[in-house]
Amino acid sequence: MPAVDVGEMSGENASGTWSYSLENSQQPSDSDHESLRQHNILLPAHLQNGQILKGEIPSWMEGILLRNGPGMHTIGESRYNHWFDGMALLHSFTIKNGEVFYRSKYLRSDTYNCNIEANRIVVSEFGTMAYPDPCKNIFSKAFCYLSHTIPEFTDNCLINIMKNGDDFYATSEVNFIRKINPQTLETLEKVDYTKYVAINLATSHPHYDSAGNVLNMGTSIVDKGKTKYVIFKIPSTVPVSEKKKKKRLKHLEVMCTIPSRSLLHPSYYHSFGMSENYIIFVEQPFKLDILKMATAYIRGVNWASCLTFHKDDKTWIHLIDRRTKKVISTKYYADAMVLFHHVNAYEEDDHVIVDIISYTDNSLYHMFYLKNLDSQFESSVKLTSNPSCKRFVLPLQCDQDSEIGSNLVQLPSTTATALKEKDGSIYCQPETLCQGIELPRINYDYNGKKYRYIFATEVKWLPVPTQIVKFDILTKQRLQWEEEHCWPAEPVFVPSPNAKEEDEGIILSTIVTSDSQKLPFLLILDAKTFKEIARATVDVKLHLDLHGSFIPQKDLKTEHEGDLDREQE
Can you say which residues are annotated as belonging to the binding site? Answer: 205, 270, 341, 547
> Which residue type, as a one-letter code, is found at position 462?
L
DSSP assignment of 427-451 equals EEE-EEEEESEEEEE--GGGTTS--
**Residue 502 to residue 453: CA distance in whole angstroms:** 8
**Residue 442 to residue 455: CA distance in whole angstroms:** 6
Closest by CA position to 105, among listed 16, 30, 161: 30
332 contacts 316 by C-beta, under 8 angstroms: yes
Q: Residues of 20-29 as b/e, b for ≥16 C-beta within 10 angstroms? A: bbbeebebbe
Strand partners, 472: 453
**Helix H segments across 411-515?**
none
Triad 435, 468, 459: Cα angle to 5°: 45
| Bridge pairing between strands 521-526 and 532-537 | antiparallel
| Bridge pairing between strands 63-72 and 547-552 | antiparallel
246 contacts 238 by C-beta, under 8 angstroms: yes
**Residue 106 to residue 186: CA distance in whole angstroms:** 9
3 contacts 380 by C-beta, under 8 angstroms: no
| Bridge pairing between strands 521-526 and 505-513 | antiparallel
Annotated binding-site ranges for Fe cation: 205, 270, 341, 547
* Strand ranges in 326-436 using DSSP code E only, listed in sequence order: 326-327, 332-334, 338-347, 351-359, 388-395, 417-420, 426-429, 431-435
Q: State the CB neighbour count (10 A cutoff) for residue 299.
A: 10
Q: Is the previous residue joined to 465 through a cis bond, with omega within 30 degrees of 0? A: no
Closest by CA position to 159, among listed 547, 549, 551, 550: 547
65 contacts 550 by C-beta, under 8 angstroms: yes
DSSP assignment of 104-148 equals EEE---HHHHHHHHHTS--S-BTTB-----TTS-HHHHHHHHHHT
**Residue 215 to residue 435: CA distance in whole angstroms:** 29
Total H helices, total E strands in the chain: 7, 42
493 contacts 468 by C-beta, under 8 angstroms: no
339 contacts 364 by C-beta, under 8 angstroms: no
What radius of gyration, in Å, describes the C-alpha atoms of the chain?
A: 23
For the four alpha carbons of 182, 188, 192 and 196, in that order, the dihedral sign comes to negative
- Residue 249: which residues within 8 A CB-CB, separation 6 or more? 191, 193, 195, 196, 234
